Amino acid sequence: MPLYSYRCGSCGHEFEEIQKFSDPPVKTCPECSGTVEKQIAAGSFVLKGGGWYRDGYAKKKETAATKTKEKLIKEKT
C-alpha cells in the first residue's frame, strides 16, 4: 500500500498515512482538526545492484580455454 504525506494548513503538522488507492484522502489534522493537504514526496523505490545487463550480459565470460591461453602467455613472458 502507498504511503502518503500530509501537511496541516493551520498548525503545520506533517504526518504520513498508509492508505489503499481506493481509500479517500485524509481531510483533517490529527493534532488540531484543521484542513490538510496531500504533499508531493519523492518515491522510496530504489533499484540497487548492477542489473542483469551489467552483472550477467555485458561481462566477457571466461571459459576454460581462455584461462588456459592466458596462463600460457604469462608463462612464456
10-residue mean pLDDT profile of the chain (77 residues): values are 90 94 94 94 69 64 69 76
Q: Which residues are CB-contacts of 5 (< 8 A; sequence separation ≥ 6)?
A: 14, 15, 16, 38, 39, 41
Residue 44: per-residue pLDDT: 67
- Res 14: pLDDT: 95
Q: Considering the domain boundaries, does residue 34 fall inside one? A: yes
Torsion of CA 17, 19, 25, 26, to 10 degrees: -30
pLDDT of residue 28: 96
Residue 55 lies in a domain: no
Tell me the residue range of the domain where 29 lies: 1-42
CA distances from 35 to 2, 8, 17, 20, 51 (A): 21, 6, 15, 21, 44
Domains in the chain, number: 1
Judge whether 72 lies within some domain.
Answer: no
Instruction: Let me know if residue 38 belongs to a domain.
Output: yes
Residue with cell 514526496: 41
Alpha helices in 1-77 (DSSP H): 51-52, 64-76
Q: What pLDDT score does 67 carry?
A: 72
pLDDT of res. 40: 86
